[in-house]
Amino acid sequence: MFNEKISAQLAQQEIEVPSWAYGNSGTRFRVFGTPGTPRNVREKLADAAQVHAHTGLAPKVSLHYPWDKVDDWKGLVEYAAELGVGIGTINSNTFQDEEYKLGSFAHHDAGVRRRAIEHHLECIDVMNQTGSQDLKIWLADGTNYPGQGDLRRRQDWLAESLSEIYGHIGEHQRLVLEYKFFEPSFYHTDVPDWGTSYAQVTALGDRAVVCLDTGHHAPGTNIEFIVAQLLRLGKLGSFDFNSRFYADDDLIVGAADPFQLFRILWEVRRGGGFDEASGVVFMLDQCHNIEDKIPGQIRSVLNVQEMTARTLLVDVDALEAAQQAGDVLGANAVFMDAFYTDVRPALAEWRESRGLPADPMRAFADSGYLARIAEERVGGAQSSWGA
């Protein structure tokens, strides 16, 4: 069983789950349907609530606007509370409408830029009605061919658009700018890396921070170094956890490289990112293409919890002593000892001590929830990309 300090730190952990993870998804070739898929945001919330009920880790649900748009936001917040969850980050969308074919904030047409700005002001209104803290922005802006756009001018337009939006952010709200090094544009992306995101948000102010998506990096990138740097600079706002084998595959976090997840979370611990005062929000950004959605989300939050527990077992004093002594292999051994520790039995005991299932995956499978929603959710349009 964990000691009191580790147990208390685990009890503080919260991981936001994304509403879109419960809808149908797939590859660029096909979106696959699943019996019982939610047909609206209320059914998405009901599914997300199952993750929190079985793990105690996911008390908030990140929404997408306008996919999750409703006429009565107050009613949605109340419904979520009845389910035992709350509304988390609001994610904007400037990548699906025809006008955004050549960009949004970085578009050469001022009218398109204005539409993108107004969309984000709507998102802020949603935040005000739901109590959301964060507005998360990911842009598909970029170009496919050299000469297609003016790279410097596009950065200026981006900065101007973000500045206007930031001016409407509330005192207790944040603008969170995500980055992605390629796709859907293949020559250049307007926010391709943490440095660009950092430069843009730093120019805005203290309530503008960076979102790090673990799948949005070139192969071989030392992501934990980026985590350390952003924490050091006070600009790591949130994570979008997922995993990938080649590019932005949005697989279950830790599926491809569990050791990478451990290294990332170690830097979170080292930089104080687990402390509530840090403001770092832990989120998932995954699409479950062939596996069942709810178990996929349960598995994901459990993977983050497991690797968090392992990082909390690192003997910091022994590691520091080895580092100061220049003991290369000794320091590495301290690190690896924690990573190779099987914390699953201790986590099972810890969950039971808190009134949670020792094995959340098994408990959910035995609940019959999937069979029930498959029978109940018949008719209507299933949620998918864009709804």
**Residue 272 lies inside a defined structural domain of this protein:** yes
Q: Is the dihedral of CA 243, 244, 247, 250 positive or negative?
A: negative
Arithmetic mean of pLDDT, 219-244: 97
Q: Does residue 386 carry a pLDDT above 70?
A: no
CA gap 200, 196 in Å, rounded: 6
Query: Residues with Cβ < 8 Å from 264, sequence gap 6 or more?
Result: 214, 223, 224, 227
Residue 116: which pLDDT band, with cuts at 50, 70 and 90? very high
**Residue 385 lies inside a defined structural domain of this protein:** no
Among all chains, which residue has been given the structure tokens 């409408």?
97
**Residue 383 lies inside a defined structural domain of this protein:** no
Beta bridge partners of 148: none
Beta bridge partners of 210: 177, 236
CA gap 135, 91 in Å, rounded: 6
pLDDT in tens, 143-167: 999 999 999 999 999 999 999 999 9
Describe the crossing of helices 73-83 and 41-55 by its angle, rounded to 10 degrees. Answer: 30
Domain carrying residue 242: 4-376
**Residue 384 lies inside a defined structural domain of this protein:** no
pLDDT in tens, 248-299: 888 999 999 999 999 999 999 999 999 989 999 999 999 899 999 999 999 9
Residue 312: which pLDDT band, with cuts at 50, 70 and 90? very high
Q: What is the 3-state composition of the chain as percent helix, strand, coil, each rounded to the nearest 5?
A: 50, 15, 40
What per-residue confidence (pLDDT) applies to 31?
A: 87
What per-residue confidence (pLDDT) applies to 276?
A: 87
**Are 131 and 87 in contact, with CB atoms under 8 Å apart?**
yes
CA gap 195, 192 in Å, rounded: 8
Residue 387: which pLDDT band, with cuts at 50, 70 and 90? low
What per-residue confidence (pLDDT) applies to 149?
A: 97
**Are 179 and 193 in contact, with CB atoms under 8 Å apart?**
yes
Among all chains, which residue has been given the structure tokens 């830029």?
113
pTM, 2 dp: 0.96
Residue 376: which pLDDT band, with cuts at 50, 70 and 90? very high
- In the chain, how many domains are there? 1
Residue 324's domain is classified under what CATH number? 3.20.20.150
pLDDT in tens, 122-136: 999 999 999 999 999
Neighbours of 80 (CB within 10 A): 24
